[in-house]
């Protein structure tokens, strides 16, 4: 996406407010130019004309202009603050909506820290757009108006302005490309550093267990020093440019004073005109210093815009399609082929027929494609070959929302949002009542426990929540599936980390939840699925066998080996 087009996407909805801002700021610009001119006229009138009444009239006019400038400046700040808040809120919302539509491979590659760093840059971008770029337009117009007014007072001073100001801007751009490259590199490395640091913090317990703290500290310091050096290089370049600007400004000030004094001596310039010129020049120098400073911020601004635009431009899921209607829950995987890396297919010629309302388990060694099969069913990824049908409807033709609305999944790693227990159910069903929540908690044997908590349904959950054990979190996940009431239910390694007693409680919840639904269970622990209607054994990207437990023991060597390994640990030890 082109940078300018992306920036326009950010600010376009507020174009009316931008127009209002311009209408408010123009009178402030006029007043700021008129003030020094009136002051010079006051001085000349008092010194040369000796007209006291005219002098006081100009004093009154100057006071009115000053008050108007102050009033319009306050209105200008109000409008700008409003625009800033509006754009900032909308940009965050826009980016969040975009992320919700990202394809699964984008989300899997995304580093949390890098994502947060890019999103946070939206605040800087908005401030720069509203408070910097817009404020630069006004000063530039004011300088142009100043040159015009000066030309009516003294042509030589106007020419000096016309030469000195562009010279200052030109010098300020001498290092702009080098600074842009350095800052782009700095912010790129900063995003990588932030992502790495967040991952280290999340894995701090494992780092302690491995006694790797010293090594991680060395890596941390090394990455930090690299960032420091990049920033120092950028700062050195900016300091060089600032010295050049300071030299030009000092020289131009001395030239202006000498020329003005000479013209006053030979009666080509009045004292009031000199005061006006001096005020204009000081104001112009202040303005141009700000403009130069903003110019130096453009590389940082461009770097942040490009990083945010890169995130916004990631491929998104196609949300079009027909509504999936499920009556029986029959699923057919038909000759599917899929590879994360095309040179190494995970599934190849994969076919599996799941009967309506069937309870089927899927087993196999790690990496054979069990979870990949589920991801394809949910259309997180698209098969390179083959089709998947539910009740005769090709999933490629169905909308993602209707597919995922009808398929519930309980993962091994339960995600509880950092919000109240009530809100963790509201994300599944918008207007769920407290009574409905208590009913599903009763079904998963958690009602008494939650009622014993001080805040009950207002208890705040989260990834580091300590009030709930692993088994209780699994049951909360199952409770959310009860609320969702999907036609097809998937348990993906949902009991692999639970103890025996907790596993039995969870399996009882399964039994009730699976009534009248097609159920798919992904499992490593075969003891949890021996009562399934059928068990599909996956090997080398295909279904090697699909039959009930007892039949597989007699007919499928792969399944038999898996079962023996889990029920005869001594066999595994003897192989080591």
DSSP symbols for 123-186: HHHHHIIIIIIHHHHHHHHHHHHHHHHHHHH-HHHHHHHHHHHHHHHHHHTTTHHHHHHHHHHH
pLDDT at residue 574 in the model? 40
Query: Given this model, what pLDDT does residue 22 score?
Result: 73
Non-local CB neighbours of 111 within 8 Å, separated by 6+ positions: 192, 195, 196, 198, 199
Task: Give the lowest-confidence range in 21-25, 56-60, 503-507.
Answer: 503-507
187 or 72: which carries more pLDDT confidence? 72
Greater confidence (436 vs 169) lies with 436
> What was the pLDDT predicted at 108?
65
Query: pTM here?
Result: 0.62
By mean pLDDT, which of 389-398, 412-421, 505-514 is the weakest?
A: 505-514
Q: Which residue has the higher pLDDT, 119 or 572?
A: 119
Taking residues 526-539, what's their average pLDDT?
82
Q: Give residue-wise pLDDT tens across range 221-279.
A: 888 888 888 888 878 877 777 777 777 777 777 777 787 778 778 777 778 777 877 77
And the tokens for 536? 């599909």
The pLDDT confidence band at residue 575, using thresholds 50, 70 and 90, is very low
What's the pLDDT score for residue 467?
61
pLDDT of residue 462: 58
In the block, tokens 């302005």 appear at: 161
Calculate helix-pair angle for 470-484, 434-443, nearest 10 degrees: 120
Q: How far is CA 79 from the centre of its chain?
A: 26
Q: What does DSSP say about strands 393-394 and 347-354: parallel, antiparallel, or unpaired? A: unpaired
- Tokens 């996940």 sit at which residue? 477
Q: How far apart are the first and last CA of the chain?
A: 55
Highest-confidence segment of 268-277, 365-374, 418-427: 365-374
| Residue 197: predicted pLDDT | 78
Residue 92 has what pLDDT? 78
Asked whether the beta carbons of 346 and 339 are under 8 A apart, the reply is yes
């Amino acid at each position: 996406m082109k940078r300018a087009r992306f920036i326009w996407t950010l600010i376009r909805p507020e174009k009316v407010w931008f127009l209002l801002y311009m209408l408010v700021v123009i009178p402030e610009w006029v007043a700021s130019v008129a003030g020094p001119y009136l002051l010079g006229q006051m001085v000349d009138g008092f010194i040369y004309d000796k007209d006291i009444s005219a002098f006081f009239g100009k004093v009154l006019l100057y006071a009115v202009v000053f008050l108007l400038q102050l009033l319009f400046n306050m209105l200008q700040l109000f409008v700008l603050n409003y625009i800033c808040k509006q754009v900032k809120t909308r940009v965050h919302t826009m980016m969040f909506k975009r992320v919700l539509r990202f394809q699964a491979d984008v989300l899997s590659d995304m580093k949390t820290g890098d994502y947060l760093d890019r999103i946070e840059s939206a605040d800087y971008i908005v401030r720069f757009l509203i408070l910097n770029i817009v404020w630069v337009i006004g000063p530039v117009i004011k300088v142009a108006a100043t040159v015009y007014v000066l030309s009516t007072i003294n042509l030589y001073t106007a020419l000096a302005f016309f030469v000195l100001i562009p010279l200052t801007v030109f010098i300020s751009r001498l290092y702009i490309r080098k600074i842009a490259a350095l800052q782009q590199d700095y912010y790129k490395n900063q995003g990588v550093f932030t992502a790495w640091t967040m991952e280290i913090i999340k894995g701090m317990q494992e780092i302690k267990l491995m006694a790797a703290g010293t090594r991680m500290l060395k890596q941390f310091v090394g990455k930090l020093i690299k960032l420091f050096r990049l920033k120092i290089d950028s700062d050195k370049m900016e300091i060089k440019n600032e010295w050049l600007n300071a030299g030009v400004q000092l020289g131009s000030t001395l030239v202006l004073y000498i020329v003005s004094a000479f013209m006053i001596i030979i009666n080509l310039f009045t004292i009031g005109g000199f005061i006006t010129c001096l005020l204009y020049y000081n104001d112009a120098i202040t303005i141009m210093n700000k403009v130069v400073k903003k110019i130096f911020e453009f590389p940082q601004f461009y770097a942040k815009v490009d990083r945010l635009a890169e995130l916004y431009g990631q491929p998104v899921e196609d949300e079009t399609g027909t509504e999936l209607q499920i009556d029986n829950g029959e699923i057919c995987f038909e000759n599917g082929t899929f590879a994360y890396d095309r040179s190494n297919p995970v599934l190849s010629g994969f076919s599996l027929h799941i009967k309506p309302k069937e309870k089927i388990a899927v087993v196999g060694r790690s990496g054979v494609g069990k979870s990949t099969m589920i991801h394809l069913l949910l259309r997180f990824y698209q098969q390179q070959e083959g089709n998947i049908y539910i009740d005769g409807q090709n999933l490629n033709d169905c909308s993602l929302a209707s597919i995922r609305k009808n398929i519930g999944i309980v993962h091994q790693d339960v995600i509880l949002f950092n919000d109240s227990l009530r809100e963790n159910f509201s994300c599944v069903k918008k207007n769920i009542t407290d009574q409905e929540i208590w009913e599903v908690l009763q079904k998963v044997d958690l009602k008494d426990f939650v009622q014993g908590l001080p805040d009950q349904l207002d208890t705040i959950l989260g990834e580091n929540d300590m009030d709930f054990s692993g088994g209780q979190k699994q049951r909360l996940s199952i409770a959310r599936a009860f609320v969702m009431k999907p036609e097809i239910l998937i348990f993906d390694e949902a009991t692999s980390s639970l103890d025996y007693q907790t596993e039995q409680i969870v399996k009882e919840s399964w039994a009730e939840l699976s009534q009248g639904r097609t159920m798919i269970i992904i499992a490593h622990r075969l003891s949890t699925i021996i009562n399934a209607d059928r068990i599909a054994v996956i090997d080398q990207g295909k279904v090697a066998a699909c039959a009930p437990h007892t039949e597989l023991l007699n007919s499928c060597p792969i399944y038999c080996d898996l079962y023996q390994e889990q029920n005869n640990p001594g066999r595994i030890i003897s192989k080591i």
